[in-house]
Amino acid sequence: MHVAENLKQRAQDKAATAAADSVIAAVRQAIVYSIHGEARPHANGMSIFFPPDQATLAVRGKTSYNETDFAQINAWYPFLLDYTALPASDAERNRPKPAIDPLQASGRMVSHGSEIKITSQAHGDDIEDASFVLSMVDNGSRVVIGSIPVDLDSKGDLKEDWDGEWFTISDGNEEFIAPITSFEELSDGDEEDVYWAEVPAQLRVSGTTQWLDVTLGFVLDFKEEEVTGDFIYAVEYTRHGPREIDVDVGDDLRPMYEVIDAAGKAALAAADGHVMHIDDLDDLKVKRDPVPSGRYQVGFLVRSLGGRHSESFVDVDVE
C-alpha cells in the first residue's frame, strides 16, 4: 500500500492515479487484521518481494523467485526486471547504510551463572530488522555461530543479555552448537513462549556417500529459564521449490556455519568433526547449554530495507 501511496503522489496522469487507488482499495479489502509499532509507521499488513537491484533479484536462495507460481502468473516479476535494470540515481548510490553506535558491554568475561549486558543504538530511516549475533574469529574469517532477532523500538535502542549459553542440537550422544538462521515467535502465552527455529545442515542418507544441503526445523518451548525443542522436519530447497526430506535411523547429520572471509564474502561451510549418527529421531532435541570456553565476538547486525547492513561486535571471553 505504501508503494501505491508514493506512486499516487508522483503520478503524471489520471490512469496512474486510478491504478494506485485500486491497489490501495484492494489491500484494505484483503487485510483482516494488522498491527505495527512506532518503528514501522507505513506497515499496512501486506508485503511483497521488492529487491533493490538486479544482483538481489538474481540470487538463488531457498527458492528462485522467477520460478515461483506467483512470479509466473502476473506482471510483478516483469516489472521487477524493468525496475532493477534502471540505473541507480546519485541519491540512491549515496544513501547511507544503517549506523550502529559503539557497543557498550557490562563486562568482557562470562562464567557459569553470570551474564553481561550488551547495548547500542541503531540509526537510519529505513531499518528493516536487527539481530544479536554470536560469532568467533578463526584464521582471519568470522564464523557465525548463530543469530536471533532483537526488538528494535522507534529510538533504535539495541539491548541483549548474554549468559554464555547458546542453542545446541543433541541426540543424547553427540552435541553441536545450533547455527540458527531463522527464529520466529509462534505464540505468546502466559507461562511459555513458543518459537520456530531453522538450522542449516547437511544430511547423508544411510547407505549413500552424498551430503544433501537441508534446513532443519524445530519448535522451541521457553519455560522461564529452560528451553526445550523438538525436531519437526528437514527441507531441501531445490530449483523446483522446497522438498521435505525424510530423516531416518542410520542417517548422518552435520551443521553448516556461515563463514565470512576478510573480503566480506559469506559462504556456508560444514563443521569438521561434527557428525551426528541418528539412532532414534525422538532423541533429536534442541536445548541451551554453555558454549565451550574461549574468546567469542558478540554484537548486533542491523539491516536496511535496501539490503545494506552494518554490524558491531565486542570480544567476550567465556570461562
Dist. CA 164–CA 317, nearest whole Å: 9
User: For the segment 33-63, what is each residue's pLDDT rounded down to a tens digit?
Assistant: 988 776 677 889 998 888 877 877 876 655 6
Strands (E), the chain: 99-100, 104-105, 109-110, 116-123, 127-138, 141-149, 157-162, 165-170, 175-177, 182-188, 193-204, 212-223, 226-238, 241-245, 252-260, 266-270, 276-277, 285-290, 294-304, 309-318
Q: How many CA atoms lie within 13 Å of 244's alpha carbon, on the beta-carbon side?
A: 5
Dist. CA 275–CA 256, nearest whole Å: 11
Q: Are 309 and 277 in contact (CB under 8 A)?
A: no
Beta strands 266-270 and 104-105, pairing class: unpaired
Tell me the mean pLDDT in the region 198-227: 87
User: For the segment 233-292, what is each residue's pLDDT rounded down to a tens digit?
Assistant: 898 877 666 788 888 999 999 999 988 888 878 888 887 777 889 988 888 888 888 899
Dist. CA 120–CA 136, nearest whole Å: 20
Residue 152's pLDDT is 79
Beta strands 109-110 and 309-318, pairing class: parallel
Q: How many residues can be counted in the chain?
A: 319
Its pTM surpasses 0.85: no
Tell me the mean pLDDT in the region 168-195: 79
User: For the segment 88-138, what is each residue's pLDDT rounded down to a tens digit?
Assistant: 777 776 777 888 999 999 999 998 788 999 999 998 877 888 999 999 988
Dist. CA 51–CA 49, nearest whole Å: 6
Residue 39's pLDDT is 61
% of the chain with per-residue pLDDT over 70: 93
User: For the segment 305-318, what is each residue's pLDDT rounded down to a tens digit?
Assistant: 767 788 899 999 99
How many CB atoms within 10 Å of residue 80? Answer: 20
Residue 238's pLDDT is 73
Average pLDDT, the chain: 86
* CA gyration radius, the chain: 22
